[in-house]
Structure formats: structure tokens, C-alpha cells
Amino acid sequence: MRRRSETLERLGSEASLCRLFTPRVFMMESDAERGAAAIKQQFLTTKEHFHEFLSSRRSVQSQDGTQDSEPERKRMKMEEECDLKEKRKENKKMFRGQNKSRPRVKPHSYEEKRLCPSIVQERDTGCSFGDKCRFLHDVGEYMLSKAADLGDRCPLFSSQGKCPYGVTCRFARAHTSAEMKNLVNEEVFRASSGQESVRNLLDKDLQRRLRKKSEDFPRTQEFLQSIRPEKKIQTAGPEEKLLEHDAGAGGDAQNGATPPGKTVGPITDDDIIKLRPCEKKQVDFRDKLYLAPLTTVGNLPFRRVCKLLGADITCGEMAVCTNLLQGQASEWALLKRHCSEDLFGVQVDFVDINSGCPIDLVYKKGGGCGLMTRTNKFEQIVRGMNSVLDVPLTVKIRTGVQQNTNIAHKLIPEMKKWGVSLITLHGRSREQRYTKSADWDYIDSCARLAAPVPLFGNGDILTYEDAVKARETEVSGVMLGRGALIKPWLFTEIKENRHWDISSGERLDILRDFTNFGLEHWGSDTQGVEKTRNFLLEWLSFLCRYIPVGLLERVPQKINERPPFYMGRDYMETLMASQHVDDWIQISEMLLGPVPKNFSFLPKHKANSYK
């Protein structure tokens, strides 16, 4: 903690060092043509000087005793990647999308010896595995191998009055006695025990029923029977039965009659009278700032940060329905919702179908963008979900699949008939991904076509000026994706109609909020710390693309403009501009302590949006 504070105190004096490593560099016209952002001349530098400056700082920290550089295995991986890029620049597709061959290390592998959960939770019954338990039962032996504590304040103990991780917590000295017993702040614990901070948790009984395929979905079965009356649909439940419909039963079903089948309990209005669309729960989406559903980086702690900075609507990460129906805990974890998310997509407020996902794995199975070309299946999904939901159903689409073939304008009139409550349109096709500018003229024409159903536009919004221009079209609101990842304070800028020349210290505070939220969500033990670090590093791979407003020759920065090498106004601002994994790790160490010896990281997403 002392070393971290000393590091931050030196930031002001290090601004002079930045100037020493800033040679006069004149941006050529060809650089601007290649899509580089325009930065004031006094801040521009060369790649060599930029890395020389940051390397010199790492060397100083190494002499001070802090860990220097990244593990050799990961360094070799990065160098091979860079060499390959130089050799094959002409092959653009090779470096698009994701780092699919990146090293994967599970967070629990960072601890050589782990303490038995029965000891951590201080159970009176002891360990149920006895001598066969593979974990340690000696607290003293565990403490000898445990990584050093990270500070005197535990986020979980501060917010809940009790830390469930006990002595394994990396802030254990904040809530453990001299006898290594877990302490409880009774006042805070009583106040928080009646509050539900995280919702949409997977119930164990429900998970068991899903895995055994014994959960009954009567509304779903009714809808399937209505679209396939000639087939026998098997219902799951205590008494399984085959529902049979003859050819003459279709008229009764259309008139609202209940299909033949065994029922249990009294009949209510909900059983025989379906809600009309106007009677369903309504959500006022207009003029709201909508955070897009984002894979990996759109996690719960990140969404909490965006809520603090002004986001109105949040949406969980894309979840695969097949995995949800199989009771996979990892997939259900994507649906978790924090109590601060007052307007949340997936559960409670509304449900969103993401048919704009361009990922190959999803598309090749007919999901995501693949649904846009499978109109019959798309219609069945939307109508089917509408028939069983009591909340609004929204749909996210792209302009189309192929680059020069827009099809969204053909789908939108049909989706209005299917009963969607809101449409979100990303202004690019699947083939374009993020390499071309979003087509807001097309979004505008589609918004007119969608009326009176609200349509949100999405694509290339990085400043409040972009949002103002977008709102001059007929869209009902805007959805923010990459812009929120690069600068989450974009929500504040839009609501206050200003460019925020945010300081490096303020940006570091935002990262500190994220790490605290991450430790609350993923845990404050070593496994939780490293999981939080991993997601922080994924986010830093986007944050490094931000260029401070005070350094720009031309305001605002465009989302597809490549940041040239520049020196910030202080050391931290320069460090945050680095696109090197070493420097991201250094930032994470300021907040989460040194990385483990076997730590390895490569970002999931590659930056292929620059021209």
C-alpha cells in the first residue's frame, strides 16, 4: 500500500520526464490519410522514444523491488505475434476478430495450496471429505504460502459487514483476529442482510430440474403446438402426456381456447386469457442512453461503472439459450443484475434478442446475424417469446450480413407485425464488422420505417457531438458500445453536452471503482483478485485507445482514428496510452498488487477498427 501511494505521488514530478522524452515530431499528411488522430505537435513522439520512456520507468520500479515485465512465455507470444504482423500485413483477415490461440490459465491455478472451504467458512461440522480432502486444513501452513495482502480495506467487509472469504481474503487483516478468526461488523451485517445486491441468481433446485429436463414450460408447449398442430409435443412435468391436435382443433386454439391436456389446481384468468401487447408491462425507452450488450467486457462490474457515469439502460452479456436450458452455471452468471441497474435487459424489465452478433461461432450455428437470413425461424422465435413473456421483447439487428446488401429495411416491417417493442440497429453489416463507418443515413430511413415502434441507433458514437448528430435523425435513442468501452464517461459527456478533459487521476479512480466492484462480484481471495485483474486487462485493451481532449489538435476524436505515439501531460497519462500488455499489467499492479509468477495474458479482442 505504501509503495503504491509513493508511486502515485511521483506522478506530478514525472511530467517533466515526459517532456525530456518528447522529440519534435511533425505529422505528415500521409499519416492523417491513414486514419491517425490529429494531436498537438508538442505531445507527439516516436515509437522508439515512447517505449524507451516507459521502459526506463519499469527499470526504476524493478530497482525499487517491484515486479518488472511480464512472464517470458507471454513475452515470446507477443513478439511472435508482432513479427507475424510485420511479415503478413497484406493478409487483413488474419488479424481480425479474436486472439483464439491465446494462453488460458484458470484463476484458481495461481495458488499452490488452497484452504478447505470448511475452514474458510468456519463450519462447526468440519470437512465432510475427511482424510480424502485435497485441500489444506492447517491455517498456519496455508498462511506461509498465501500471497501478501493488498491493503487494509476489504470491499466485501465494508459493504456487507462480513467477508465470506475469511483468512483467504487478500485484505484479511481488515477483518481477522490475532487467532485468525473472521470478524463481523454486526451493524453493517444486519443492515445489508435484508438487501439483495445481486439478482437473477440460479436457484439450485431450478438448475437440477433443468439438467434433468423436468422443468415444465406450459406456455412454450402451447405455442409450439399452435405452429405444429400435426406433431405430438411432449410436455415435461410430474405427469408427462402427449398433447394431440387434430386438423379441426386449430380454430379453437385461434379463438383462445385452452389446448386439451391435464391441468392441476384452480383455473385463473392468466390460464385462459392472454395479455394483449398493450396490457404488458411497458418500458419508456425514448431518449435513454443504452449500454450495448458486450461480450466479456460488458460484465456486471463494468455496467456498475457505467451506471455511476450516467447510463440509463444496461443489458447483460449475450447468453446462449441452449446453455441456459441445460442449467449451465457459467451461462446463468451472465444474467446477474446489480441492484443499481434499474432498467435492465434479459430479466424483469425487458428481454432482448441479439440477432446482430457477428461472431463466427454463433453465426455458423444459425444464431446472431444468421437469424436475419432465416426469416421463418426468426418469426417463430419472436412470436413464440412474445406469447410467453409478460415484459417487452426487443431485438438488435445489423444492416445485413453481406457488406453491400442491406436487408434490415425488409425485416423491420415484419418485426412490427411480430410484436417487438423496440428495435436496435447497428449501422454496419456482419462482413464490415468495425472496419467501416456506421451508415447513419440508412439508420435514419429505417427509423422512419419502424415508426411507431421505437428504433435505437448504434455505431461510431464516441463524443456528445456524435450523439447530438445521431439524435437529429428519427431514432428514439442511441446505444453505446465501443464508445463506452473506450471512455465510459461518455454517458456523462452526452448528458452534460460537453467534452470532458478527464485527468489521468480521475481515470485511475474509475479503474479503482471497477476493481472494487470486481472484488465484490468475483471475490476477494486470490482467485477473485486474478479474475478481476483479467477482466480489467481486457478493458484496458480498449481504454488505451482514448486520446485526452487537451492533447488533440482537432476536437473531437473519431472512433476509427488510430492514436499515434504521444507523451501525456504526466507519467500516468502516458502509461495509459500504451498498447503494450506490459504496461496494462503495470496499471493492474497499482490496483491489485503484483501478478503471480505463472501469470499470462493476451486480450480476447484485436483492434481491427483502424483504417
Catalytic residues: 357
> Would you call 497 helix, strand, or coil by DSSP?
coil
Rounded to whole angstroms, the Cα distance separating 503 from 56 reads 23
Q: Are strands 351-354 and 337-338 parallel, antiparallel or unpaired?
A: unpaired
Give the whole-angstrom CA distance, residue 51 versus residue 57: 10
606 CB contacts (<8 Å, ≥6 apart)?
Answer: 95, 96, 97, 98, 99
At 150, phi and psi to the nearest 5? -100, -15
Give the H or E element holding residue 100: none
Gyration radius (Cα) of the chain, Å: 27
Q: Are 374 and 414 in contact (CB under 8 A)?
A: no
Are 302 and 161 in contact by the 8 Å Cβ rule? The answer is no
Phi/psi zone of residue 438: left (φ > 0), alpha (ψ -120 to 50 degrees), beta?
beta
242 pairs with which residues across the strands?
234
3-state secondary structure of 236: coil
CA-closest candidate to residue 332, choices 349, 342, 314, 346: 346
Q: How far is 342 from 281, CA to CA, in rounded Å?
A: 15
**Closest listed residue to residue 423, CA positions, set 397, 459, 400, 391:** 397
Q: Give the E-state strand segments of 445-552 in sequence order.
A: 455-458, 477-480
Q: What is the DSSP string of 532-568?
A: HHHHHHHHHHHHTT---GGGBSSSSPPTTPBPPPB--
